[in-house]
Structure 1
Amino acid sequence: MGLLAIIGGSGFKSLPGLQQLDARQLETPYGDTSAPVTRGRLGEAEVLFIPRHGPSHHLPPHRINYRANLWALRESGADRVIGLAAVGGITPAFGPCVISVPDQVIDYTHGREHTLYDGTTGEVEHIDLTAPYSDALRQALIDVCSECGQSIVPHGCYGATQGPRLETAAEIRRCERDGCDMVGMTGMPEASLARELRLCYASLAFVVNWAAGKSGSIITMKEIEENLDLCAERVMAVLTAAAQSC
């Protein structure tokens, strides 16, 4: 079995408690990764880690080289990937500090390098994305959350928007009509590229604010950062347990 890889999002440019063994900057067919791939120990388990926004959180969502990151993780020995996702909550069950393991995604992004089959390899493959996340890895995360006493919503539809700006209230109303429970900026093309690379991929999402128009007030970075801090310990508890069993 290969290694579990963790992709850090907002609030996770590093993993507290990760004992670093080495870090490698890989050359990829798709250009530079967001950061070197770190190999380390989380608890007793060896894992891989990369911060998708870079080590100083300098890469906006639409400038992340998702293809290079996932390719580098696979080349480093990963066969399972957990993507961390700070999101805005849309529907009532997804209020601030709720943790979720989403089961569906709607892609509103544009202009991103969203496939390995871009005409340069001489082949095209049409992957099935009916279930955009690995059922097995999702269930393992759900089970781990239960075992370590972390309450979660074990489903949800993630709406992936372009960013880096936050959405308008009208855009969030559209997302809700479409069936989205949460909104973020990095869920796609990460999920579909993982499928193209034959990686088992699941998202661990944590709500850091109500989405636009859902709270009656404007969204502030202070609010987001405070909720990130509140979520961080719980997310790390889940990741540490998942590293031992997923």
Structure 2
Amino acid sequence: MRKNNLFKVLILGAMFGMTVFLNGTAKTGKTPNKKEKQEDCYIPKGELTCVTDINTVKGSIKLAEKEAEKDKLFKDAEKYFKKGRFGNENVGFIDYPEGWMMFVDPDSGPSTMQISREGFDIYTLDVLYIVDESINLTKITEEIAKQNYDDLLKAGHTKDNLEIKDVVINGYKGKSVKVKRVSGKSWITYYIPNKKKMHIIVVEGLPQHTDKMQKFVEKSWNPYK
């Protein structure tokens, strides 16, 4: 692992409740077969996606490759880190949380940027580009959020453990889906449409921390700076 004096990179294999179109399974439109689930990945109870098992040979290779990919992404964003902002011009920005470290998830996409405190509390910034200009981005945002909510119900969550609502972050309207408790954590996924992009912001962490983390995002997120 290469490091510099500006930041440390934290490598962990934990996967969180990312939206279904951001992980490798959903991007290919395939569901791992039984053997693949046993050998290369697993689906944590109550979650939607197959998580890479970094204790396998394939898993460790995948993690190393992702580490190299993210190293460049983080280095390119150093100019923003120095200004106290975490993110880049693609995924948007939040304030840089003091004392947090870069996080590399082997299942994340090429644009995903993550930062973590002690490997458990995590902020994730990502983006989905909308190529078809005829698509109603607001409608698609609502449909994706609703689909995520419905999939979580099918995964075994009760309605009182979930929350879907309209949100406004610094003037940008969108939707959020919250899981109050799963595997000892809470997570909140924001879907914010903006021009030809859908920004995805994920707050994940200990239930007693996520309210404060949400306020941090809602106070500091901006798609441009």
- Normalised by the shorter chain, which TM-score bucket? under 0.3
TM normalised by structure 1 equals 0.26
Hey, which of these two has a bigger chunk of strand by percent?
Answer: 2
Ranked by relative contact order (alpha carbons within 8 Å, sequence separation 6 or more), the top structure is 1
